[in-house]
Amino acid sequence: MRYQRYVLALSLSVLWFFPHSFSVFASKPIFYWVDKTIDAPLWKSLQSDFSSELKSLAAEKPTGPAPTLHRIARHQYFLLVIVEHKQGPTPTPESTYYYAFSYDLNTKKKSPVMKLGFDWKLIGTAYFAPFPMPDILFSRRDCNECEATTSLSAFQFDPNKNGWVLRTWNQIPTITIASELDHGDGSGLKYTAIFGLGDYNGDQFDDVLLWSCWYEPEQPLVEEKTTLCTIQNGVGKTIEITDPKQLKDLHKKLCEKNQDSVLCK
């Protein structure tokens, strides 16, 4: 039923938004990652189109290799462009800084989406709402060689803006899934969280379920919270779950893939 609903939404939305698109893109899926080898001419063209942005980013952090294109997602004429800038004389994946841009191939319009930070990792795609384009889910760290916070975010395609933007929940575009910061009260408590992606409220669309707390080894958990990040009437919401039976069931599902977490001990 869930995937039938996706197919129906896809068919209706594509016909509405791109009524003449099938003659041009009939052999391509509605969304795909551009292959640097197969789509070499496009990749080369984009490297040229982004030359001024790459030069500007290189000037901001002049050490290490020059910035370059890292990943490109394509939906019709609209691209999500991820730029990577390796840092320092001996760069590592953890020290590489990433940026995201939305780009219209027709108009050549570029829009910065987000300074992603360090250690950007693609998690996958998710259908949070009845729109044919999936969101692109990813994680990123806010700093390197520091007490970093790791966040979960999602790119979504906005047909009203003809471009890629960040999805928000309660107007916030990030979900904190890990942090090396302490509690701030001198207690030495550390933050930890586990999350799951799936349909947790029965609406046939994906949600992010987050179970978090502050803890110290061999001590009771502090500020334990379970939050559902979902879409209601097209708006991203975060809802704290407090029902004991529901919590037990949801925690059991989360622990199936996170057995080593302190939350599942």
The distance of Cα 109 from the centroid of its chain, to the nearest Å, equals 22
Name the residue with higher pLDDT: 94 or 20.
Answer: 94
Dihedral of alpha carbons 173, 177, 31, 134, sign: negative
pLDDT the model gives residue 122: 96
Q: What is the pLDDT of residues 86-122, one digit of tens each?
A: 987 778 878 899 999 999 999 999 999 999 999 999 9
Q: Which residues contact 183 (CB under 8 A, 6 or more apart)?
A: 189, 190, 191, 214, 222
Q: How far apart are CA 228 and CA 156, in angstroms?
A: 19
Q: What is the pLDDT of residues 210-257, one digit of tens each?
A: 999 998 887 888 999 999 999 999 999 999 999 999 999 999 999 999
- Average pLDDT, integer, range 66-79: 95
pLDDT the model gives residue 167: 97
pLDDT the model gives residue 7: 38
C-beta separation of 113 from 97 below 8 A:
no
| Percent of all residues in the chain with a pLDDT value above 70, rounded to a whole number | 88
Q: Is the pLDDT of residue 39 over 90?
A: yes
pLDDT bin (cut points 50, 70, 90) of residue 2 is very low
> What's this model's pTM, rounded to 2 decimal places?
0.84
Q: Structure tokens of 12?
A: 């209706």
Computed over every residue of the chain, the mean pLDDT equals 87
- Average pLDDT, integer, range 15-34: 52
Which of 51-55, 129-133, 247-251 has the least mean pLDDT?
129-133
Q: Is the pLDDT of residue 26 over 70?
A: no
- Partnered with residue 71 across adjacent β-strands are 82
Domain boundaries, given as residue ranges, for the chain: 1-119
Q: What is the pLDDT of residues 138-176, one digit of tens each?
A: 999 999 888 889 999 999 999 999 999 999 999 999 999
